[in-house]
Amino acid sequence: MARIAYVEKEQATEKTRDILNKNHWSNIFRMLGHSESHLYNYCRLGNAIRFKGELDPGLREIAITRTGILCHSDYEVMAHQRLCAAAGVSPEKIGALEQGAEADVFSDVEKEVLRFTDDVVKNDRAGDETFNVLVKRLTPGALVELHLAIGFYIMTSKFLLTFDIDLQS
């Protein structure tokens, strides 16, 4: 059960209702709706991370899902397992994300992305070894986008956990 009440339709401004309608009144957005400006800008950045970059969507989604796993955010993991599948990630790979880069099902670049993700989440920064391997694989833009996706979803995972956002099916 959430630690504070979610925003309800009758409480929300017209702008907040519009944003919440576009996001299916999902619990995370209903909680963010307590701050209209932050809800709006959170959605803008999330939209840029998910839809406007050059990073391969499958790589992005395995990194985001792995971030949710490492941050112990069931809500995030469930949401992004579905988005992994929509991005073309196989069920075997989605299931192996708990294991991470050591799972045999991943390609070399996927393993490198997972090691980078683990480094950033667990160690606050990617070490030289994991960073330098990806510099050879990804464009600078894709590498920046990967890091921003991981950081955004660390923040999102911690928000979900702190406010005890209820899972939705």
In this structure, what token pair is assigned to residue 157?
A: 């995972």
Q: What is the pLDDT along the chain (169 residues), one digit of tens a residue?
A: 999 999 999 999 999 999 999 999 999 999 999 999 999 999 999 999 999 999 999 999 999 999 999 999 999 999 999 999 999 999 999 999 999 999 999 999 999 999 999 999 999 999 999 999 999 999 999 999 999 999 999 999 999 999 999 998 6
Nearest CA among 81, 95, 84, 94 for reference residue 58: 84
- Whether residue 110 contacts residue 118, with contact meaning beta carbons closer than 8 Å, is answered with no
- Residue at 76: amino acid letter: E
* CATH homologous superfamily, domain 57-162: AhpD-like (1.20.1290.10)
Q: Distance between terminal CA atoms of the chain?
A: 15
pTM here is 0.95
**Rounded distance between C-alpha atoms, residue 3 and residue 130, angstroms:** 38
**Rounded distance between C-alpha atoms, residue 6 and residue 8, angstroms:** 6
**Rounded distance between C-alpha atoms, residue 7 and residue 160, angstroms:** 15
- Whether residue 142 contacts residue 134, with contact meaning beta carbons closer than 8 Å, is answered with no
Q: Where are the domains of the chain?
A: 14-51, 57-162
* C-alpha separations of 71 from 54, 98, 139, 148 in Å: 25, 12, 27, 16
